[in-house]
């Protein structure tokens, strides 16, 4: 057994329900990441719900990982967007590091697609991606790149999209080549999520021998959009062009 898994079992056991973390009480563990454990907690003073992220104790033994966790919190503090849960505070208990975020009660796209079997029409999928692109554009304008835009990290609440988990995010200063690569990574992830949503209505039998171009029946403008997002054809270089193309294909589908 690899030592990383041994450490996880020995040092990284989740906190029990009703554990106190300063003014917060743990309701339940929401999940695990490579570096952190996520809890739904209640502020014992106000009764309000929050999300508390804990750096894995095994990671907290390394100074580099502690600094990385602090950098993640510092990056979140710079983001002021209604679709990104805000950082509330940071604290430390003994040697354990935590930070607190707003709680958004919603379903992530992974759960909607694979556990709830929710279906999305082409126009519904494009509408959600338009919202997600708006968040991405805001981040890129501030030279922040998420780099982990996956179905579990995109929440939907009453039709509104939220982006979470900035554990791999980076802010880059004046390195255009690096920013261009990171920008393309976020656009590629956007294309992948759009493809997941579009496959929700696919009724045939998937085949390793066929590509999505053969399996899905889509508006030509959607196909063109996806090809550019996924780098199959000349990729997008900025979010404004993606926004314009999304708007055009949505208008065409609504006619």
What's the rounded Cα separation, in Å, for the pair 245 and 225? 7
Whole-Å CA distances, 163 to 9, 175, 216: 29, 25, 27
Catalytic, 240? Answer: no
Which one is catalytic: 148, 165, 186, 245?
Answer: 148
Using an 8 Å Cβ cutoff, are 222 and 126 in contact? Answer: yes
Residues 6+ positions from 128 with CB-CB distance below 8 Å: 120, 156, 161, 197
53 annotated ligand-binding residue: yes
- CA dihedral sign of residues 241, 238, 131, 200: positive
Which candidate, 119, 77, 65, places its Cα nearest to that of 102? 77
> N- to C-terminal Cα distance for the chain?
58
Using an 8 Å Cβ cutoff, are 66 and 55 in contact? Answer: yes
Residues of the binding site for ATP = 53
Q: Which residues are tagged catalytic?
A: 148
Residues of the binding site = 53
């Amino acid at each position: 057994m690899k030592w990383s898994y041994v450490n996880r079992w020995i040092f990284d056991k989740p906190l029990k329900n009703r554990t106190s973390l300063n003014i917060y009480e743990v309701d339940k563990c929401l999940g695990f990441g490579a570096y952190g454990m996520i809890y739904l907690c209640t502020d014992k003073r106000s009764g309000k719900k929050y999300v508390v992220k804990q750096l894995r104790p095994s990671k907290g033994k390394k100074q580099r990982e502690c600094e990385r966790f602090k950098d993640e919190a510092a990056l979140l503090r710079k983001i002021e967007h209604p679709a990104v849960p805000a950082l509330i505070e940071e604290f430390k208990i003994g040697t354990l590091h935590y930070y607190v975020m707003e709680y958004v009660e919603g379903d992530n796209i992974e759960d909607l697609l694979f556990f709830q079997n929710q279906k999305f029409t082409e126009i519904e999928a494009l509408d959600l991606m338009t919202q997600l692109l708006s968040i991405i554009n805001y981040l890129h304008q501030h030279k922040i790149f998420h780099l982990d835009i996956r179905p579990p990290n995109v929440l939907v609440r009453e039709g509104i999209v939220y982006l979470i988990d900035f554990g791999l995010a980076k802010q880059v200063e004046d390195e255009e080549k690096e920013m261009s690569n990171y920008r393309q990574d976020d656009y590629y992830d956007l294309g992948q999520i759009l493809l997941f949503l579009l496959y929700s209505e696919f009724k045939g039998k998937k085949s390793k021998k066929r590509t999505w171009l053969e399996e899905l029946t889509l508006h030509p403008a959607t196909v063109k959009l996806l090809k550019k997002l996924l780098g199959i054809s000349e990729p997008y270089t900025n979010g404004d062009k993606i926004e314009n193309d999304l708007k055009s294909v949505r208008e065409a589908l609504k006619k």
